[in-house]
Structure 1
Amino acid sequence: MKLNDEIEYAYDQSNLKNNELIPVRKSSQTHKTRTRKLKDPNRRHFATKPVITDKWLQLDINDLRQDLRELYIMKQVLHTNLLSQHIRFQNSVTGIAQTYYEVFRNGYIAADHETRHDSSDISSYIHSVMDPHLQAGSLEGINLMFTQWESYTKLLSFSNFRLVSLDFIVIENTILVKTLGEFRFIVSRDTILGIFPHIIRNEALVQQIIGLQLTCNCTIDFHFDQFGRVMRYGEEADFMGAFQSALRNPLHLALLMEGALIHEESMLGEFDTLTVNEEPPETTEKPENVETQKASKASASDSEDLDDSNCSQSCHPRRNDVAFILS
C-alpha cells in the first residue's frame, strides 16, 4: 500500500509542475504575441507579408486591367485608321484605272495646233500617275504607251473605249487592279497596211473585212507600288474574238491572224520600230531600216504585177494555218 501511495503522489506532483512551467496559450494570442516580440524590421515585414502582398497584387491586377482597356481602345483606333487609309488608297488606285479609260476614250493623237490642249492634258495625267520606267512586257518606257496609243488611234479609228468591270487584288507589296473593257474600231486600208500587210494580195479576204465596224474586248492590268504609281502595265486585246464574229470561215480567220503585226501586250506594228526612248520620235522610220522599208514599199506597189500563181498560193491556207485553228 505504501508503494502505491508513493507512486500516485509522485505522478500528481509531476503534472502540477508541468502545468505551471508551460501554460497553455490560445491560438488567437499566439500570432499577436509573436509579432510583438519581432523587434527586427525585416522580420516584422516577413511576419506581416501575406496581408501586404494581397493588397499589392490586387492593385497590380487593377492596373493591368486598366492597361488592357487602354490598349484595346488604342487597337480599335489604329485599326480604324488603317482601314480608312486602306479604303482611301483603294479608291485612289481604282480611280486611276477608271480615269485611264475616260482619258483615252477616243484614243490619242500627238499634240498639234488644234488638239494641243487635250493631248497635253493626257500627257500630264500619264506622267503624274505612272512610273517613268513603266514596264510593258519585256519593254520599258512611259513614252512607249503614247506611241502605241497613236498606232491604235490611227490604224483602227479607235473609239468608245470604256470600262466594263474592275477587281482589286493585293499581292505582297504591290496592288493589282484588273480591269475588263472594250472598244470599237473600223477596219480600213490603214488597218490592213499597218496590222495585216500579209493579206494585201488576197483581195477576197480584204473585201470581207474592209469597212467592218467591230467591238473588241480587252483586259488591262495595272500594277501599283506602295506610293500609288503604276509600275507595270499589261494589256490583252481580243482581236481574234472581234474578227471571229465577221469571218465565218475559220481558215480565213487563221490566215488573217497568223501574220498579223500584233505582239506581246497587244502592241501593234513592226516590233523593231517599237521605241522606248525618253522623247517620242518625230518619225517612225529608223535610219538603219530605210532600205528595208523602201524595198517593202516597192514590193507593195508592184503587187498588181505578180503572176496568178503567187496570188493563188496566198489565197489558199497553208498547213500551219490549219494547225493554228486546231490549236
Structure 2
Amino acid sequence: MDPSDSVAEIFDVTPVRPRPVLAPRVPAITALATARRAPKRRKKLKWRARDVQASLEYNLNLDVMNLHQEIQRLMEYQQILQARTINRRDDLDGYYVKAIMEYHRVFENGYHPGATIDGTQFVLQVMDENITIGRFAGRAVLFHQWEQYTKALSGLELRYLHSRVASGEEQTIVTSYASCRCVITQDTLDVMFPNVMRQHPNIAAKMLGRVFNGTGQFAFTFDTQTHYVVSLDFEIDFLEVFAHLLRNPRELCAMFQGARITEEFLIGDVTSYQERRPHYEENVGPTVTEVEEKEEESRSGLSLEETWHWGNENKERR
C-alpha cells in the first residue's frame, strides 16, 4: 500500500462532494408580511398654539401686502387712463372734466379774492356771464354764494372725488361729487340758522364746535358752442348731516325752522338776487293780462256809448 493513495482508493469507494451549509429557511408568510410592512415614519413635531398663530399672522400680512400692491397698481393705471383721456385735445368731454376738477381745486378752501389761487379769474374764464343757479342768474350770485359759504363753513375743505359726463350735441353736463368738511361756528348759525341762537340756545350750544362731514353733488352744464358753463345746480346733504349730529327729530325740526337754505341749496339772504326769466316768456308775445290792461287804458279815453259798444263786442269775441 502506497502512502500516497487516497482513502477512496484504499477502500475502493466513490467520494461524495461536500455540501455547503445553508441558513435556515424563512417561512413565505413571514417574508411577505415583512415586505408589506410600511417603512418606519419619523414622528412629527407638534407645533404649539403660539407658533401656529404666528404663522397665520405672517401669512395674512403677506396677503395684505400683496393686496395693497395690487390696489396701488390699479390706482396708478386708473390715473394713467384718466390722464390720457383728459389730455386728448379732440375730446371735449375730457376738457370739460378737467375744467371741473380745476373748479374744485380753486374753491377747495372757499372763496378768497386776491389770494394766490384767484377764484374770480377762473369764474370769468369758465362761467357764462348769465350763468343760471336755480331760479337766479348772473355771476354775481355765484360770487356772493361762495362768500356766504366761506363765511358759514369755517375751515372748509371741499375735496373732489369723481365725476361723470352726459354728452349732447348742444350741451354737455358734467356731474361731480365732492366731500365737504368744516367746523360749525357762530357764523354758521348766523348765516344759515339765524333763529337758533335766540329761540333755541340749547341746540346752538350743542352744535357749536361740531365737525360737519358731508358730500356735495354739482351739475355743470356746458354750451358746446362757447364751451362756457351756462348752468350750475348743486346739492349738499345738510339735513342728513345735522340729523346725525343732533340725533333728535324735534331739535332738528326746531333748528331748520326759519333756516336760510333755499331749495337750490343757496344759503343766507337771497332777496337781492335777480331771478332769471323763464324761457317760454322770452319767446312769446304779451300775455292775456297785458292785453286786457292795454285795452283798459285805451277804453278810458272813450265816451260812455263807445265804451258800452266796445264791451259788447269784447263779450261776443270771447
Give the residue type in structure 1 aligned to 2:183. I
- Within 5 Å, give how 1:8-19 maps onto structure 2: none
Residue 263 of structure 1: aligned partner = 262
Superposition TM-score, scaled by structure 1 size: 0.54
Asked if structure 1 preserves the Cα contact closer than 8 Å seen for 2:113 and 2:119, the reply is no
Cα distance in 1 between the residues matched to 2:256 and 2:163:
29
Structure 1 position 130 matched with structure 2 position 127 = yes
Residue 93 of structure 2: aligned partner = 90
Asked if structure 2 preserves the Cα contact closer than 8 Å seen for 1:135 and 1:141, the reply is yes
Tell me how far 1:146 sits from its aligned partner: 1.0
Cα distance in 2 between the residues matched to 1:158 and 1:268:
17
Aligned partner (choices 150, 155, 174) of residue 153 of structure 1:
150
Three-state SS of the structure 2 residue aligned to 1:220 is strand
Tell me how far 1:138 sits from its aligned partner: 1.0
Cα distance in 2 between the residues matched to 1:198 and 1:148:
20
Cα distance in 2 between the residues matched to 1:202 and 1:215:
23
Cα distance in 1 between the residues matched to 2:151 and 2:207:
17
Three-state SS of the structure 1 residue aligned to 2:267 is coil
Asked if structure 2 preserves the Cα contact closer than 8 Å seen for 1:110 and 1:150, the reply is no
Gaps of 5+ in 1: 1-83, 277-327
Cα distance in 2 between the residues matched to 1:238 and 1:157:
17
Cα distance in 2 between the residues matched to 1:139 and 1:158:
27
Aligned partner (choices 202, 205, 229) of residue 204 of structure 1:
202
- Within 5 Å, give how 1:253-292 maps onto structure 2: 253-274=252-273
Cα distance in 1 between the residues matched to 2:130 and 2:186:
34
Residue 186 of structure 2: aligned partner = 189
Tell me how far 1:96 sits from its aligned partner: 0.6
Structure 1 position 107 matched with structure 2 position 110 = yes
Aligned partner (choices 160, 184, 190) of residue 163 of structure 1:
160
Cα distance in 2 between the residues matched to 1:87 and 1:244:
46
Cα distance in 1 between the residues matched to 2:207 and 2:169:
45
Cα distance in 2 between the residues matched to 1:203 and 1:87:
57
Asked if structure 1 preserves the Cα contact closer than 8 Å seen for 2:134 and 2:233, the reply is yes
Tell me how far 1:265 sits from its aligned partner: 2.3
Let me know the Cα RMSD of the aligned residues: 2.0
Three-state SS of the structure 2 residue aligned to 1:265 is coil
Cα distance in 2 between the residues matched to 1:168 and 1:215:
26
Moved over 6 A (4+): none
Deviations 1:272-298 (A, max 9, x none): 14468xxxxxxxxxxxxxxxxxxxxxx
Identity of aligned residues (%): 26
Tell me how far 1:198 sits from its aligned partner: 1.6
Cα distance in 1 between the residues matched to 2:168 and 2:255:
38
Three-state SS of the structure 2 residue aligned to 1:221 is strand
Cα distance in 2 between the residues matched to 1:104 and 1:243:
23
Cα distance in 2 between the residues matched to 1:187 and 1:205:
12
Tell me how far 1:110 sits from its aligned partner: 3.2
- Within 5 Å, give how 1:231-310 maps onto structure 2: 231-274=230-273
Give the residue type in structure 2 aligned to 1:160. E
Residue 217 of structure 1: aligned partner = 215
Cα distance in 2 between the residues matched to 1:158 and 1:144:
22
Residue 17 of structure 1: aligned partner = none
Cα distance in 2 between the residues matched to 1:88 and 1:171:
13
Three-state SS of the structure 2 residue aligned to 1:197 is coil
Superposition TM-score, scaled by structure 2 size: 0.55
Three-state SS of the structure 1 residue aligned to 2:105 is helix
Give the residue type in structure 1 aligned to 2:204. V
Give the residue type in structure 1 aligned to 2:176. T
Asked if structure 2 preserves the Cα contact closer than 8 Å seen for 1:152 and 1:158, the reply is no
Cα distance in 2 between the residues matched to 1:90 and 1:271:
33
